[in-house]
Amino acid sequence: MRIGILTGGGDAPGLNAAIRGVGRRALAHGDTVIGVKNGWGGLIGDGDFMELDRHRFSGILQLGGTMLGSSRTNPMKREGGREDVLRNLGRAELDSLVAIGGDDTLSVAAWLAEHGAPVVGVPKTMDNDLSVTEYCIGFDTAVSRVAEALDRLHTTAASHHRVMVLEVMGRDTGWVALMGGLAGGADLILIPEIAVTLDEVIDRLQRRLRSGSDFSIIVVAEGVEMEGVTDKQVAEGKLDAFGHAQLSKRGVADTLAEVIEARLGHETRTTVLGYTQRGGSPSAYDRIWATRVGVAAYDLVLAKRWGMMPVVRNGTVETAPISEVVRETRRVTPELYELAKVFY
């Protein structure tokens, strides 16, 4: 067989481990592996491919990013996009395609599978918001980055008696903020799923001051909505091909810090982690599980179970339809948020 692999959407630590898992498994079975460059963009126009031999998979396990490149190209929004993709799959003589990505990338994969394309998926998103699966490539590394940043911010916050506001990724869900905040000992965590008013934030900080704590650490997800601080509609910049604005331009942390300082008179500083959350080497956990779901994706190809993908549930790799995985967003539960509040 000739097996294609692509990575779409934002890069994430662990993508190369998944590529390696699919590829090495395929080569062991005598198959040919073809890399599709730059996500779905590599299947538009004349197509853009590269053959992946054993040498190509050497030394990439520990590397961040994706050796194949990525993009946010959306063939569903292009006239003749589906036909273009199917034509290029035929032109490259691909018997199957493994699409590694999050909600956007996998939505295209599900759409293609519905139209008869031999596609399987692999779950990747730092936001960890795909339904059905408990693991998405890149999430563990992102949480570790947040926890490490909080460890460093604690020392300077305590030294200067400041409020520190750390802004992290999280468009619609707060998994990175909540788990990173728990691991890093944040004093307040603000996420899109749970509404918190500005007055509640100020009250929390005042209670810490009265209790003798002269510094505080706040973690805020970039997609948080809070009256008096944010308005998702004023996000600057163009929308991407999937309709997403660049939320980092909203300045959630900066605005929140200004309001806190004005109302409390307490010196406040901000840090925006931005792309450092998705850069660099993957954690051991991401390397292991990305490898496992990559190998499992090849097994689905071998069984010709098109439109399916590996998911992680209860500590094991299982299988689910791509369409089911992208059907809804997996959100932080109120019960989990209550756990974080125990330490406020």
Q: How would you classify the pairing of strands 96-101 and 308-313? A: unpaired
Each residue's pLDDT tens digit, 201-219: 999 999 999 999 999 999 9
Buried/exposed code over 312-325 (b: 16+ C-beta within 10 A; e: otherwise): beeeebebbbbbeb
Poorest-pLDDT segment among 30-39, 109-118, 232-241, 313-322? 232-241
Each residue's pLDDT tens digit, 93-138: 999 999 999 999 999 999 999 988 999 999 999 999 999 999 999 9
CB of 57 closer than 8 Å to CB of 24: yes
Q: List the strands of the sheet with 119-123, edge to edge.
A: 49-51, 32-36, 2-7, 96-101, 119-123
Q: What is the pLDDT of residue 333?
A: 94
Q: What is the pLDDT of residue 259?
A: 94
Q: What is the pLDDT of residue 235?
A: 46
CB count, 10 Å around CB of 114? 14
Q: Is 46 a catalytic residue?
A: no
CB of 127 closer than 8 Å to CB of 141: no
Q: What is the pLDDT of residue 236?
A: 46
Q: In the chain, what are the domains?
A: 2-138+280-325 (3.40.50.450), 140-277 (3.40.50.460)
Poorest-pLDDT segment among 4-13, 41-50, 224-233? 224-233
Each residue's pLDDT tens digit, 42-97: 999 989 999 999 999 999 999 999 999 999 989 988 888 888 999 999 999 999 99
Count H helices and E strands in the chain, helices first: 10, 11
Q: What is the pLDDT of residue 267?
A: 93
Each residue's pLDDT tens digit, 229-286: 876 444 444 555 555 555 556 689 999 999 999 999 999 999 999 999 999 999 999 9
Q: Which of 103, 104, 127, 286 is catalytic?
A: 127
Per DSSP, 61 falls in state: T
Q: Which is higher by pLDDT, 246 or 170?
A: 170
Q: Is the pLDDT of residue 146 over 80?
A: yes
Q: What is the pTM of this model?
A: 0.91
CB of 216 closer than 8 Å to CB of 344: no
